[in-house]
């Protein structure tokens, strides 16, 4: 059984992915996009520079959003 790796993705892809999960872009300041969703304690922060978001930032945002690895790949596949 092979497990898919979380790899860096373009910041626009990540924004669309979290929008599918119910998050909305609240504001953008410099190279940071801030996304919120009612019921979550903290906002998601996505850096737009460099264009590809590092794996560590993706995993941190997944934890903050409360989505599983399987759900992440399900949403990512929906965008492809």
Six token digits for residue 55: 């794996």
Structural domain contains residue 2: no
Distances (CA, A) of 79 to 12, 20, 30, 50, 74: 11, 9, 26, 21, 9
Write out pLDDT tens, residues 46-64: 999 888 999 999 999 999 9
Structurally, how many domains does the chain consist of?
1
Q: What are phi and psi of 17, to 5 degrees?
A: -60, -45
In the chain, which residue ranges form alpha helices assigned H by DSSP? 11-20, 55-65, 69-79
> pLDDT band for position 1 (50/70/90)?
very low
Contact indicator for 62, 18 with CB cutoff of 8 Å: no
Domain that holds residue 65: 9-79
pTM for the full model?
0.91
Place of tokens 């940071």: 32
Q: What is the CATH number of the domain that holds 73?
A: 3.30.920.30
């Amino acid at each position: 059984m092979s497990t898919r790796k979380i790899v860096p993705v373009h910041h626009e892809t990540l924004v669309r992915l979290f929008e599918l999960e119910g998050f909305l872009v609240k504001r953008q300041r410099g190279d940071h996009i801030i996304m919120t969703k009612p019921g979550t304690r903290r906002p998601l922060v996505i850096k737009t520079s460099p264009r590809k978001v590092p794996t560590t930032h993706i995993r941190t945002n997944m934890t903050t959003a409360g989505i599983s690895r399987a759900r992440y790949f399900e949403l990512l596949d929906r965008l492809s």
